[in-house]
Amino acid sequence: MLKKDLGLLVFILVVGAIVAFINPRFLLPINLSNTMNLIGLYGLFSIGVGFVIITGGIELSVGSMLALLGVIFIDLLSTYQVNWVLAFLVIILAGLMLGSLHGFLVTRMNLQPFIVTLCGLLIYRGIARFYTEDATAGFAFGTSFPTLEWLVAGRTFGIPHSFIAFILIAIVMGVVLHRSVFGRYLFAVGKNEEAARYSGIRTGRVIASAYIICGGLTGLAAIFLAMYTRSISPASHGNFYELYAIAAAVLGGCSLRGGEGSVLGIVLGTILLQVLQNLVNLLGIPSSLNFAVIGTVILIGALADQQIVQRGGFGQVFKRTRPSAQPVPEKQV
């Protein structure tokens, strides 16, 4: 896995160098700061989606959850004038509850993760549009929340707080995934759920926990995105964001079969996606091709994963095959 992450890091550096050579504006502090901000915003929920993929599941409702939780957060602050700390906690709790619902349907009702989260994608989007009567939710003119805005949308020495939060959460989630018993259980369930169950692991709880973690991180990302955009159109906010998350996870080494992946890989996958998006913008390529770029990236990642599996591991892909030694014929007497 470390080889995968190292190879991805080298690829990011090569792509960054090429972009900087083609357009030196890539290295401008303002451009780097904006790119880091986007990395933080998209990375928060990408880590959660990566956890679900490691268990062998999928999460397709992230974008709709961002829209629903975002409009509720704005409404709590602007319409009901709830204290921002309480509103913050309510949204995180709501995200955890939605994740718990997904985990319950997958583990207790034995529904396929694809069906559960696809239904969530449609239901949450519909509720968000009904809640706002299909109108844009935003803050009234002159409305300000200085402390909240500084925490989630501010910058320290030019580094966006969203990026700092992303790195801190990545460190915590990295310890959880790679240095805890729970993390080993996640990998075991993703590799072979039945074998993990026979070995004494409560697979249902492990899988549900992955969806709960994803829901909580999505709630946190909804707050950051709401304060970043300051207005949310429930019909379009968060559209296709689940694809960004899945692409980041796949690029980072998370196998769609489950049982493989790393937090560092997801971080690098998120960075690569945003660098590619920045490349599209700096080269003046039509924004309509953004999804084509994402689709191509996912396809390449899936093909690479397939080749690695067929060749028996990452190291075997680059291993040279040697002709087997022929037995020395015995000397005839």
The Cα–Cα gap between 175 and 164 comes to: 17
* Any domain includes 325: no
pLDDT tens for each residue of 10-33: 888 988 888 888 888 888 999 999
* Any domain includes 318: no
* Any domain includes 314: no
pLDDT tens for each residue of 173-183: 999 999 999 99
pLDDT tens for each residue of 228-274: 999 999 999 999 899 899 989 988 889 888 999 999 999 999 999 89
Classify 219 as helix, strand or coil. helix
* Any domain includes 184: yes
Cα 209 → chain centroid: 16
- The β-bridge partners of 160 are 155
* Any domain includes 16: no
Q: Write down the residue that tokens 């559960």 correspond to.
A: 116
* Any domain includes 181: yes
* Any domain includes 317: no
Helix, strand, coil fractions of the chain, as percent rounded to 5: 70, 0, 25
Lookup: tokens for 269: 């996958």
Confidence of residue 46 (pLDDT cuts 50, 70, 90): very high
Domain that holds residue 60: 2-9+21-139+146-309
The Cα–Cα gap between 183 and 206 comes to: 9
pTM: 0.88
Range in 4-13, 203-212, 270-279 the model is least confident about: 4-13
Question: Which stretch of DSSP H or E encloses residue 274?
Answer: helix 263-282
Domain CATH for 77: 1.10.3470
Range in 124-133, 136-145, 172-181, 206-215 the model is least confident about: 136-145
The Cα–Cα gap between 282 and 276 comes to: 10
Amino acid (one-letter) located at 298: I
Range in 1-10, 32-41, 169-178, 274-283 the model is least confident about: 1-10
Confidence of residue 322 (pLDDT cuts 50, 70, 90): very low
Provide CB contacts within 8 A for 295, sequence distance 6+: none
Question: How confident is the model over 295-321, as a mean pLDDT?
Answer: 62
- The β-bridge partners of 155 are 160
Pairing of strands 155-156, 231-232: unpaired
The Cα–Cα gap between 123 and 65 comes to: 9
Q: Which among 284, 297, 148, 167 is positioned nearest to 227, based on CA atoms?
A: 148
Biggest alpha carbon–alpha carbon distance for the chain:
103
* Any domain includes 316: no
The Cα–Cα gap between 308 and 246 comes to: 19
Domain count, the chain: 1
- Taking the alpha carbons at both ends of the chain, their separation in whole angstroms is 54
DSSP label of 283: T
